[in-house]
Amino acid sequence: MALDGILLSKIIPEIQKGLPLRIQKIWDISSTEILFQTHGPLGKKQLLISCHSVYNRLLFTDRSYPTPNEPGNFVMLLRKYLEGGFIEEIEQAELDRWCLMKIRRRNSIGDIENWKLYVELMGKYANVILVNSEGKILDALKRIPPFENSRRTIFPGAIFEETPSQNKKNPFTETEIDPDQSLTKQFAGFSPFLSSEVEYRMARGQSFSSIMQEIRDSEKLFIANGNNEPVFHCIELTSKGTNRSYPLFEGFDILYYHREEKDRIKAITGDIYHFVNRQLKHQTQKLPRLLSEMDEAMDCDRWKTYGELLYAYNITDTKGMKEITLKSFEDDSDVVIPLDPRFDGKSNARKAYQKYTKLKKGQVYLEEQIRITEDEISYFTGLLEQLSQADFKTASEIRDELVSLGYLKETKKKNRKARNKKKDTPVSFTDITLPNGIVISFGRNNLQNEQLTWHAARKNEIWLHAKDYHGSHVVIHTADPDEETLRTAAKIAAWYSAGRMSSSVPVIWCPVRNLKKIPGAKPGMVQLGNYRTIYIDPDEDQISELGLL
C-alpha cells in the first residue's frame, strides 16, 4: 500500500527539523529511488525519495545503499544544479500527496540560483520534477510527453503546473461528518485504508475528533498484517489485530528496504535474476527430454532381438516395407519389427544392431547428462533462493561466483583501481554475538558458505543446515552449545533457507569434522557423515530481535 496525505503530513515536520540541509551528493540507487547525502543542524542525513508505484515515500534513512558507478541522466542534471546547494524549505500542499523543496545554490560565478524540486508521491504517478525560478521544467525522473497526457505535460522546457487542489475539508480543523459520504471523499489526506480504520473505530464508540488528535500526537508507525500483506499508518490499526510499532522512519525502512532491494540489485549488478531464471527454465525443460531418451536407451535389447530375428529368418526382400511380423523364439508370440523401406532385410538387421549398440553405449552418457542436469537444477534453484534474500553485497558475490564458474562473462572495469579493489575484497559471512557471549556465523550465498565451513570454522565447532532445503551454512563457534544457543542457530538456518515459510523445518547439525568436501563440486556443497536433527518453526520476530532484519 502507498502512503496517504495524512501520513505525509507526519513525515514533512520530521524533515523540517533538519533544515537547512546542504546537499553534498546525489545518487540514483535504483530506477525509482534517489538518495541525497546531506548535512545540517542534525548532522549527516540521508534523504531518500522513492517514486516506486507501491513503495513511494520520502524520509531520512540510516540504511546503507549501494551506489552505481555511472549515474543516470536525471541524477546527473540534479548534481549539476543542486549539489552544494541548501534545502531551505519543504512544505506539503495542504494534505495532498506532494510536497515542494525550495533549494538555494550559488553557481560557478557566485550568483544565487533558486530551484524548486517537486516530489509527487501519487502511486503509479509518483515523480520528482526539477523546476527553475521561471516555472519551467528542467527535467523529471519520469517524463510525460504531450501525446501521453495532454492535460499535464512533464517534459523539459514545459511550464510546470502544480497538481490542483481537491478542495476537501481539513480533518484536523473540521470534524463535522456527512454520514452519506465516505471519509475519503470528504476529507483531505484520507486514503481508503485510513477511512476504513477510522470508521471501524467510530462504529465502536470512538469520536472522530479523538482519532484525529491521536493522529496529531503520533510519532510512530504501526504495522499490521492484512490479507498476507503489511498495512501501516501512524495510529494503531485496531481493525487488523496485532500491531508492531516503530519510530516513523525506522518503520518505513523495515517495511520497504528489502522489498525494493531487488530493484537496486538489478540496477547495480545487472539482471542476474533474469539469467538465473533463464538457466533454471532451460535445465528444467531439458531434464524430461533426457529422461525420455534414457527410457528408450534402457529398452535397447529389443533392437538386438529385431536384428537376431531378421538374420535367423533370413529375411531379404523388405524394400518398400515399413514393418514385418515374425515369431519369437522364446514364446512363439508375434514380434512386429519396424523397417526402413529403403533397405533390404540384411541392411535392416545391420541397422537394428547398430541402434542397439548406440543405445547401449548411450546409457552411460545419458546417465551422466541426467546427473549433471539435476545438479544444475539444484544449483540454480539454490541461487534463486539466495537471490530472493540477498542484499547488494551478497548478490555481487553471486555474480562473481557465476563468472568464476564460466556462466557469465566478467564485465570490463574502467580502471585498474576498481579491479584491484574488487579483487582484494574478501568474502565475508555474517556474525552475531549472543548475550551469553557465543558467536554464531552464517553465510548467505555459496561463496560465503564455502568460506565459513572450510576456512573459518574449527573442526570441533557445530555446523547446521536446513535439511532438504537450499540455504545458509550456520556455525556455532563452540563445541558444546546449550540448548537455547542451538535452537537460536537452528532458527537462523531455517529462516535463511527455502523453508522459511514452512513450519517444523528439520535442521541438521553436527561437528564440522563430520563434513567432507565433494571433489569437483560447486561452492557450498558438502557431504555429511553422522548428524542429528532438530525441528524449528521459523519466526520473523525472533530473527528481527537478533538484529538480522
- What interhelical angle do 261-269 and 272-298 show, nearest 10? 90
Query: Which residues contact residue 366 at a Cβ distance below 8 angstroms, ignoring those fewer than 6 apart?
Result: 290, 293, 294, 297
Please tell me which residue, 483 or 165, carries the higher pLDDT value. Answer: 483
Question: Among residues 128, 91, 82, which one has the least CA distance to residue 11?
Answer: 91
Cβ 59 vs Cβ 48: under 8 Å: yes
What pLDDT is attached to residue 415?
Answer: 46
What pLDDT is attached to residue 267?
Answer: 66
- Comparing 135-144, 179-188, 386-395, the range with the smallest average pLDDT is 386-395
**Phi-psi sector, 468: left (phi>0), alpha (psi -120 to 50), beta:** left
515-535 confidence digits (pLDDT tens)? 999 888 888 899 999 999 999
414 has pLDDT over 60 = no
All three cell numbers of 37 = 547525502
Cβ 278 vs Cβ 383: under 8 Å: no
Highest mean pLDDT, choosing among 388-392, 426-430, 484-488 = 484-488
Report residue 238's pLDDT band, with 50, 70 and 90 as the boundaries.
Answer: very high
94-115 confidence digits (pLDDT tens)? 899 999 999 999 988 889 999 9
What pLDDT is attached to residue 241?
Answer: 85
Mean pLDDT of the 172-196 span: 90
371-398 confidence digits (pLDDT tens)? 999 999 999 999 988 888 887 788 888 9
282 has pLDDT over 90 = yes
269 has pLDDT over 70 = no
CA dihedral 541, 543, 548, 549 (to 10 degrees): -30
Give me the domains of the chain, ranges plus CATH numbers: 5-140 (2.30.310.10), 183-261 (no CATH), 272-386 (1.10.287), 430-545 (no CATH)
316-341 confidence digits (pLDDT tens)? 888 999 999 999 888 889 999 999 99
SS3 label, residue 186: helix
201-235 confidence digits (pLDDT tens)? 999 999 999 999 999 999 999 998 877 778 899 99
39-87 confidence digits (pLDDT tens)? 999 999 999 999 988 888 999 999 888 777 678 899 999 999 999 999 9
State how far Cα 365 lies from the chain centre.
38
Report residue 466's pLDDT band, with 50, 70 and 90 as the boundaries.
Answer: very high
What pLDDT is attached to residue 20?
Answer: 95
Report residue 305's pLDDT band, with 50, 70 and 90 as the boundaries.
Answer: very high
**In angstroms, how far is the first alpha carbon of the chain from the final one?**
20
Which residue in the block uniquely carries the three cell numbers 452519506?
A: 180
Question: If you average pLDDT over every residue of the chain, what do you get?
Answer: 89
Cβ 30 vs Cβ 264: under 8 Å: yes
338-352 confidence digits (pLDDT tens)? 999 999 999 999 999
The percent of residues above 70 in pLDDT, for the chain, comes to: 95
How many CA atoms lie less than 13 Å away from 115 in the CB half-sphere? 28
CA distances to 88, 231, 257 from 25, in Å: 16, 33, 20
- Comparing 236-245, 386-395, 429-438, the range with the smallest average pLDDT is 386-395
Pairing of strands 21-28, 33-40: antiparallel
